[in-house]
Structure 1
């Protein structure tokens, strides 16, 4: 679905993105604030929402939280906020990716294609194949060079969450909460240890990972 809702209080950005996205084959609707964005999303099943965080009525993270109460629409955050705390808050609220202003149009279009591709594939991931290993999500099995790779339950939990969200940035807090539980949400050292173990078991070059990438201070991204 190529219908895009762009939410931003800057009319120049709304106009520029509408023209650019339309030129690349997208059908574009716009909203200047959070409440109108929520109403638009309720009326129409968009393929993706491009959302600014600094809105005049309600914060973009609040818009994400409210959307996630009833919708799984992919959300690409577009914001001038450069701090990792803002990124983490938006991602934990349910955003799928984050682009910081000023941005290059090529990067924005690539991120947009990626979130749309993930949404199409999200319900069809029984087998994830990379150049180095294969993950069978249905059988909870990992093979490398034709041999089974033995993973601990915790390692599997991390791998499964990342593999079910290919290319998506998953925050440290989300990984810790879903794998260990809410009481461990700030124990980032646990995560570093287990990510190192996964890289040793699955990456061809653990010191130069290709599939399990770190976003410093924020989280991890799995690239098939």
Structure 2
């Protein structure tokens, strides 16, 4: 697959050693750190292509580290954790993580996931951007840039926003959004669309109570409005 650089952040030296052995077998260059502070310094000097990150570092939270690291790197982040609760997994993936592997883990499965993410990296990130006036969607990082900041979204939030972005300035019904993203067999109902739209507004609207980007068209659905700054003022 070529020479890629893998950074492992885990406070267990034994786990770091195991992953590094498997990385070497694949021809990857790897390094490890055992704390978030050390990892932040290493991030700048090593410039990894992918990061394997423990959720629970000694006296630190790996998810918080991931959130902060996202302003410095676009590298895929694969979380490792002994925590299996859904809320932990959701937080990890919502705040910048790309994958989640629970401990104890199979090194072979972990390497397969690492190689899959590296293949996506190699396709070229520039092809995975959708630019609109005032908004840029990054399909690789599952983020949106509003011009002033980059915001990382959950999978469902990004799916909603990206579909509306591909139908920009057009009304999309709640039923269409629900069927596309949740599917006909989902145990949820269309009310979950409204919940996720509300969460999206909190993240990308200057005033979520008076949205200007994602507006509600009463009786019809929602519309993503993309206007240039000049158009917004008029």
Could you tell me the TM-score, scaled by structure 2's length?
A: 0.58
Which of 23, 26, 50 is 2:25 aligned to?
23
In structure 1, the residue matched to 2:180 is: 194
Please identify runs of 4+ aligned residues in structure 1 that moved more than 3 A: 173-181, 188-192
Give the 3-state SS of the residue equivalent to 1:19 in structure 2.
helix
Which of 132, 156, 160 is 1:172 aligned to?
156
Which of 107, 110, 124 is 1:108 aligned to?
110
Structure with greater Cα Rg: 2
Q: Is 1:121 aligned to residue 123 of structure 2?
A: yes
The answer as to whether partners of 2:159 and 2:181 remain within 8 angstroms in 1 is no
Give the 3-state SS of the residue equivalent to 2:64 in structure 1.
helix
Post-superposition Cα deviations, 1:5-35, rounded to whole Å, max 9, x if no partner, equal 1111111111111122112211110100111
Give the 3-state SS of the residue equivalent to 2:51 in structure 1.
strand
TM-superposed deviation, 1:193: 2.3
What does 1:126-137 correspond to in 2, within 5 Å?
none
Give the 3-state SS of the residue equivalent to 1:4 in structure 2.
strand
CA RMSD of aligned residues (A): 3.3
What does 1:12-91 correspond to in 2, within 5 Å?
12-91=14-93
| 5+ residue gaps, structure 1 | 127-136, 139-160, 182-187, 198-205, 208-224
| 5+ residue gaps, structure 2 | 131-136, 142-153, 166-173, 186-234
In structure 2, the residue matched to 1:216 is: none
Q: 1:86 to 1:178 in 2, by over 3 A?
A: farther
TM-superposed deviation, 1:88: 1.1
Q: Is 1:96 aligned to residue 81 of structure 2?
A: no
The answer as to whether partners of 1:122 and 1:165 remain within 8 angstroms in 2 is no
Give the 3-state SS of the residue equivalent to 1:81 in structure 2.
coil
The answer as to whether partners of 1:74 and 1:115 remain within 8 angstroms in 2 is yes
Distance in 2 separating the partners of 1:55 and 1:6 = 12
Distance in 1 separating the partners of 2:67 and 2:163 = 21
Post-superposition Cα deviations, 1:16-69, rounded to whole Å, max 9, x if no partner, equal 111221122111101001111111001121111100000013201111101111
Q: 1:64 to 1:106 in 2, by over 3 A?
A: same
Post-superposition Cα deviations, 1:184-209, rounded to whole Å, max 9, x if no partner, equal xxxx9985423367xxxxxxxx98xx
Distance in 2 separating the partners of 1:84 and 1:189 = 26
Alignment: residue pair count: 158
In structure 1, the residue matched to 2:203 is: none
Q: 1:61 to 1:189 in 2, by over 3 A?
A: farther
Post-superposition Cα deviations, 1:170-196, rounded to whole Å, max 9, x if no partner, equal 622443466679xxxxxx998542336
